[in-house]
Amino acid sequence: MSLAVVGPEAAALLGEIDDPAGNLVLRAASAFRRRFGGGPWALTLEKRLPVASGLGGGSADAAATLRLLCRIENIAPGKAALTDIAAGLGADVPVCLRARAALMGGTGERIAPADGLEGLGIVAVNPRVPLSTAAVFGDFGARPAPGEAPAPAATRMACADWLGRIAAARNDLEAPAMARVPVIAEARAELAAMPGCRLARMTGSGATVFGLFDDAAARDAAARRIGTARPGWWVRAGRLV
């Protein structure tokens, strides 16, 4: 089994190509082969997301690998065993395997659809400062509450209602992340100030921030404006599915 890494962010991963324990694509392929057989495969990863950016790029890569190998080996992706493999690779790999907007509970293993967000515009901005997830959680210092959190229930709401619900919530990791990397707060403020931005927050443990937009034209204009003003930053526009 082999892995080649290409794309604009490939250089940051070159040291992991020959390390099956360090790269989630290789770990996913190895776990799949142990469970289902098949292979060996020659895999190519086109890396477009910055590393250590709080975007779950490695988890998404692992999930995409599992979906790809299911097609190659004619394995039904709904198998419980596939979800077990995903959970063993990382807490957010199962939700990446679903590749849809979702509510998550526990450590990420309990997932329910979050319907109504489809098509909402998003702009993601990363100031090109890597940030260690472990360091941010260490600074936060919280410990899980005893007992098991209830599983999230599938929810369908209008997009405007979702925006209100998200606005009423918070990301507890923003404060420790911004203390370590103050430019995160600057990036979020710039995004929040863009015309049409309904909400701006940090993703995960940072250092990326995102803004949500009802209007695709406003979303694209915001991405262009920030990209022009901050040519050293990583800026991308897209939509939720």
Residue 204's CATH number: 3.30.70.890
106: pLDDT strictly greater than 90:
no
Q: Which of 57, 72, 99 is the last residue of a domain?
A: 99
Note whether 90 and 143 are same-domain residues. Answer: no
Q: Are residues 75 and 129 in the same domain?
A: no
Residue 81's pLDDT band (boundaries 50, 70, 90)? Answer: confident
Residues 93 and 148 both lie in one domain: no
pLDDT, one tens digit per residue, over 36-48 is 999 889 999 999 9
The answer on 70 and 131 residing in a single domain is no
The Cα–Cα gap between 209 and 199 comes to 10
Long-range own/partner contacts, residues 90-95 (CB < 8 A, 24 or more apart): 90/24, 90/58, 90/59, 90/62, 92/56, 92/59, 93/24, 93/28, 93/59, 93/62, 93/63
pLDDT tens per residue across span 175-202: 999 999 999 999 999 999 999 999 999 9
